[in-house]
Amino acid sequence: EGADHRPRGVGGRGRVVLFPLPFQGHISPMLQLAGALHARGLAVTVLHTSFNAPDPGRHHHPGLNFVAVPDAVPESVAASSNGLAKILGLNAAMAASGRVRDALASLLRAADEPRLACLVLDSTLTAAQKAAAGLGLPTLVLHTGGAACFRLFRSYAMLHDKGYLPATESNLRAPIEELPPLRVSDLFDPSKLPNKEIGQKILDLATETTTNSSAAILNTFEALEPHELETIRDELVPRGIPAFAVGPLHKLATSSSSSSTGGASAGETSLLSADRSCIEWLDTQAPGSVLYVSFGSVVKVTRDELEEIAWGLAGSGRPFLWVVRRGLVAGAGEELVELPEGFEAAVEGRGKVTEWAPQQEVLAHPAVGGFWTHSGWNSTLESVYEGVPMLSRPIFGDQLATGRYVQDAWRIGVLLEGVLERGEVEKAVRKLLMEEDEGAAEIRERAKGLKEKTRMSLESNGSSQQAVDKLVDHILSL
Ligand code: UDP
């Protein structure tokens, strides 16, 4: 009988609650998914912690309802410099405080609301999944990395059995025959971390939440990772867990409508406000001439590496836009990073340094000809969508496998491996942006080809839009 009284239009079909891991690279895709589900007529509530909470002033998401889950991250955890420890601390705090359970229980009780169908959670949030299970609420898991990474993280037992791990000096270059084109050096090896147990536990979280879920949602698309998605489905579907490839999420909600080129984004999802002068500066540069350089929101480089990057960029002779965010240099705190002496004078008029760029707009700008990235998954998809060739310098975790795919599977960029050295940086940057170089021209062509495939997957009959339709049907069937 309740169904007859449900409001028509948005939310009339039911409500979902979403809970992202509170880091930039996880918040953005979850909010973008929220936008897409809302556009399909679902009412959407987003749970968030006070740590890295969305700013209501800037993150106005019409139609999304935000609910704070206070004290889910205690001060001691928020202050830790170890991101992996933060994730475990967050789960422990959530389990102890019972706040997530309370928030979910109150949403389930709200009688005048559309029926709450499920919780969509970040793949690392085991404690939130347990809270939902205790209330009989089904869960779906959002994987904010690629399918290759998803598959890799589920393969660690095999990698140990076959002797690829723990990695040794002598097997680092060895190809992993079961997971081409990966090599041993592309594996995230928990035994190399100062705290091995944390590393292994983190790897296990996504496997646990997936096993206990009603579906896996992946921020990738069929044409990008067809074989990886097939293996994942071979494993999950017989267990009753469908896998929906709905990416790239940053363009999902806007692309199905009339505006297939650019247009408004799914809403502001950046925690920091971006420096608009980057775009004005790009407007003054020649088409395809600029290297955009950014290492995302989390990873750090050493002071020595910063010096090599700076002098490599200076030596390349190419224009560049470089994001040097606070906290980028390991051990230097959250202060504004001091650039090497003489650097600014050396690159005057040719280089621009900023603390935080409007990255999607930068990558869409015609002046940008290449992207030096840490191969974070969001950055990679944003670059793929715009057809910008990449110089990959992965640092940690799934970035290593993504960098390998950029160079050897999709062949839309080059991998910068080994110790960072200014001479090598110079060469790599020049080569990537060089008009006449045959290898670089081929990379540019392939990047353009993949850009087309990406846009096709987002058209109204494209694979990702169809996957969202099926996802919504699945949610409503729960
Ligand atoms: N980003 C941005 N401005 C910057 C640098 C990064 O908006 O100056 C955004 C970027 O567009 C991407 C996110 O931050 O969406 C970084 O996510 P990614 O998965 O690439 O890396 P992570 O930060 O998680 O390592």
Give the number of other CB atoms < 10 A from CB of residue 351.
22
- Give helix 99-109 / helix 126-134 axis angle, nearest 10°: 40
376 Cα nearest atom in ligand 1? 20
d(CA 229, CA 333): 40
pLDDT of residue 228: 98
Residues 6+ apart with CB under 8 A from 84: 193, 195, 198, 199, 202
Return the DSSP state at 406: I
- Convert the pLDDT of each residue in 372-415 to its tens digit: 999 999 999 999 999 999 999 999 999 999 999 999 999 999 99
294 Cα nearest atom in ligand 1? 5
- CA 379 / ligand 1 centre spacing (Å): 6
Instruction: Please enumerate, as own/partner, the contacts of 97-103 that have beta carbons within 8 Å and a separation of 24 or more.
Output: 97/71, 97/72, 98/131, 99/69, 99/70, 99/71, 99/72, 100/19, 100/47, 100/69, 100/72, 100/127, 100/128, 100/131, 101/131, 101/134, 101/135, 103/47, 103/67, 103/69
The response to whether residue 378 sits with its C-beta less than 6 Å from ligand 1 reads yes
Res. 94: pLDDT tops 80: yes
Which of 124, 354, 378 is the pocket-test mutation for ligand 1 (most atoms within 8 Å of CB)?
378
Band (pLDDT 50/70/90 cuts) for residue 182 is very high
* Nearest CA, atom 16, ligand 1: 296
Res. 7: pLDDT tops 60: no
Band (pLDDT 50/70/90 cuts) for residue 3 is very low
- Convert the pLDDT of each residue in 303-335 to its tens digit: 999 999 999 999 999 999 999 999 999 988 888
Instruction: Yes or no: say if 265 and 363 are a contact pair by the CB < 8 Å rule.
Output: no
- CA 270 / ligand 1 centre spacing (Å): 8
SS3 call for 352 = strand
Percent of the chain with pLDDT over 70: 91
The response to whether residue 298 sits with its C-beta less than 6 Å from ligand 1 reads yes
Torsion angles phi and psi, residue 225, rounded to 5: -135, 60
Bridge partners, 183 (sequence order) = 175
Band (pLDDT 50/70/90 cuts) for residue 255 is low
The response to whether residue 394 sits with its C-beta less than 6 Å from ligand 1 reads no
In whole angstroms, how far apart are CA 431 and each of 170, 255, 344, 388, 415? 30, 33, 23, 14, 12
SS3 call for 43 = strand
Exposure string of 2-16, with b = 16+ CB inside 10 Å and e = fewer, is eeeebeeeebebbbb
* Nearest CA, atom 2, ligand 1: 359
- CA 133 / ligand 1 centre spacing (Å): 32
- Convert the pLDDT of each residue in 355-373 to its tens digit: 999 999 999 999 999 999 9
Can you tell me the ipTM of this complex? 0.99
